A = this chain, B = another copy of it.
Amino acid sequence: MPEWRKDPILEKWVVIATERGKRPSDFKVPKEEKKGYECPLCEHHEAETPPEVLSYRERETESNRPGWWVRVVSNKFPALKIEGNSEIRKQGPYQLMDGVGAHEVVVETPDHRKSLENLNEYQVREVIRAWRDRSLDLRHDTRFKYIQIFKNFGSVAGASLDHPHSQIIATPMVPAYAFEKMGGLTKHARLTGNCILCDIIQNERQDPQRVVVESQQFISMTPFASRSPFETWIIPREHQADYGHIREDQVGDLAYVLRSTLKKISAALDQPPYNMVIVTAPVNYFSLDLAHFHWHIEIMPRLTTAAGFELGTGFYINPTPPEMAAAELREAVPEYDETFKNNIEVVEKYV
């Protein structure tokens, strides 16, 4: 019997196929070859991007020159532009606004041939810091109400560049998804005095059938009402509203959990395309409800296609129970080193 399961924060339902659940081998994971080994995001190509807004680099090297290990630049083809007016205009029955926003690319490594989970832990920590530092800087522009940090891996997941990168878009309004999350968290807090995500962490640790990786500070788990196969969330165990407030002791821990989780997904599903988003509290927005937010990372491997039913209803149909997905991920041996060696020469500098 399939099951309807309710997302405890959004109160949206998903359908979980509990019989004949799909295992990793049941999915046709689209394989993608990297196109070439050089691109505008590579070291020595700094002049081909807009100037950097942040870089972590060797002492005595100049901006927009080689010597960096993480680099953030404005998107050359931004979806939104920094200039413009954030006032709402009317047009007949409609409302519109200039396409104000910031759109940045976080280059996660100078090495085209890597992927986020194959970077060493120091480098992953630096990527996590770059996300944090840009989030803290972008909010100085008080027009921005939300900083969306996200990563698309593989063209099926919407990536147009091979080079390991993530993106940041700052928007002049709070997105629906963040509003809905804040609404659900606030409602539960008012009813029970507790944070539902804190409650869930406690529940999952007692009965760890959906736990993938756990550390002192973070838990990685497949949510009870997973929308798609192998959806995995990484949640700080301590209640914390704003990703921008991540502490240094958490950064190291998150690097371990993020890297391990991505390695397991890559090993279990043969490096599938995926989307990753950081869901966090709005900025420059004043409400007591902000304190109810509990930021987290959502990773969605792209193994199924959301189609008419999902579009028309908002319900998702998930053919892999999250308990099965978590078991597969726990058991997955990250064999990346072997496959990696077969494919390309390891550039020790960045390993």
Residues of chain A at the chain B interface (Cβ within 8 Å): 1-6, 8, 10, 12-13, 15-18, 79-81, 83-84, 88, 92-101, 146, 148, 150-152, 156-159, 167, 169, 171-173, 175-178, 180, 196, 199-200, 203, 207, 224-225, 275-279, 298, 300, 305-309, 311-315, 317
Q: How far is the CA of A306 from the CA of B157 in the complex (A)?
A: 8
The residues of B that contact A277 with a CB separation of less than 8 Å are 308, 311-312
The residues of B that contact A79 with a CB separation of less than 8 Å are 2, 15, 17, 309, 317
The residues of B that contact A167 with a CB separation of less than 8 Å are 308-309
With A81-B1, A94-B8 already in contact, the answer to whether A99 and B15 are too (CB < 8 A) is yes
Nearest-CB residue, chain B, relative to A103: B309
The residues of B that contact A309 with a CB separation of less than 8 Å are 79, 148, 150, 167, 169
- The answer, among B8, B101, B298, for a CB contact under 8 Å with A93, is B8
Number of copies: 2
Q: How far is the CA of A18 from the CA of B81 in the complex (A)?
A: 12
Q: How far is the CA of A279 from the CA of B98 in the complex (A)?
A: 30
* Nearest-Cβ distance from residue A230 to partner chain B, whole angstroms: 15
The residues of B that contact A175 with a CB separation of less than 8 Å are 312-315
Provide a sorted-by-A list of 13 A–B residue pairs whose CB atoms are within 8 angstroms: A4-B97, A4-B98, A4-B100, A15-B80, A16-B99, A93-B200, A150-B308, A152-B307, A157-B308, A158-B308, A176-B314, A275-B307, A306-B306
Closest 9 CB pairs of A and B: A158-B307, A2-B99, A150-B308, A277-B312, A175-B313, A176-B314, A158-B305, A4-B97, A275-B308
* Nearest-Cβ distance from residue A307 to partner chain B, whole angstroms: 3
